[in-house]
Amino acid sequence: MLQDKLDRLQTLFRDMDRALIAYSGGIDSTLVAKIAYDVLGNRALAVTAVSPSLLPEDLEDARVQAATIGIAHEEVETQEMQNPNYTTNPVNRCYFCKSELHDTLKPLALQRGYPYVVDGVNADDLHDYRPGIQAAKERGARSPLAEVELSKAEVRELSRQLGLPWWEKPSQPCLSSRFPYGEEITVAKLQRVGRSEVYLRKLGWTNLRVRSEGDTARIELPPEQVKDFVANMDLPQVVAQLQAFGFLFVTLDLEGYQSGKLNRVLERPTVGTSSP
């Protein structure tokens, strides 16, 4: 089954002949870059969008991974922080982020002679609330992993089989996903979230989120790690460090990390309504 999907991916890229990959350095887009390069060689180009919502450490990872694969890699700056439709953080914020991304990549691709822009959307993403997917589709982008119905678990397993050393790398969506809808996003807020996550990663907590709610940092860890964090960490030191980054209050989410948790507000009944 997995080999069949790999074969289909390879055929897909052979049919494209030339492709530009929207490459964040995450496990999904890196697998796309790997397969594209294996099939197309120098007819594949990986491009990373650089903005305040991308951690410098994640950008460096993207550079290292691209060099390991061998694919040509370039960086472009995107300006979503100049768009109030993005910074006011509406429920469809991701739409405006991906609009900016693909409005930047599509002209670049056409200028360089790449008829296709492809991204790392996988089959599981299609079942989550991802308004950015629509923005990408409207601009003609393709999602090879989703087209061959490759799930997130299969992305990791195929990456492992292909010898990619980062196949277990935790998911790292853009830093703007750490804010509840409606809270304004600023460069300063992004920086304090980013510094906090890097600090905790260096202490060994690699799969986490630091959610920003006003002046409060809410640390989310996998549920099975919450007790270990409380028992083994110097909690006053953690609080002091995150306060030094700009937060006033530091909390730990006792439920633990769950992808898409901030989307729960979208499912909440409107106040004042009742069932028939």
pLDDT at 276 over 50: no
Q: Does residue 20 sit in the same domain as residue 98? A: yes
Burial of 234 (0-12, 13-18, 19+ CB in 10 A): exposed
pLDDT at 140 over 50: yes
Q: Does residue 104 sit in the same domain as residue 208? A: no
Q: Around Cβ 92, how many Cβ atoms within 10 Å?
A: 16
Number of domains in the chain: 2
233: domain CATH number is 3.30.70
Domain termination site, one of 110, 138, 161: 161
- Strand 209-213 with 216-220, pairing: antiparallel
pLDDT in tens, 143-171: 999 999 999 999 999 999 999 999 999 88
Domain termination site, one of 161, 192, 223: 161
Q: Give 52's contacts (C-beta < 8 A, 6+ positions apart).
A: 81, 175, 187, 190, 191
Q: Does residue 151 sit in the same domain as residue 218? A: no
Q: Does residue 126 sit in the same domain as residue 224? A: no
Q: Does residue 118 sit in the same domain as residue 199? A: no
- Domain with 68, as residue range(s), is 2-161
- Write down the pLDDT at residue 268: 60
As given in the structure block, the two tokens for residue 272 are 């004042």
CB 45 within 8 A of CB 166: no
Q: Does residue 32 sit in the same domain as residue 154? A: yes
Q: Give 123's contacts (C-beta < 8 A, 6+ positions apart).
A: 145, 146, 149, 150, 151
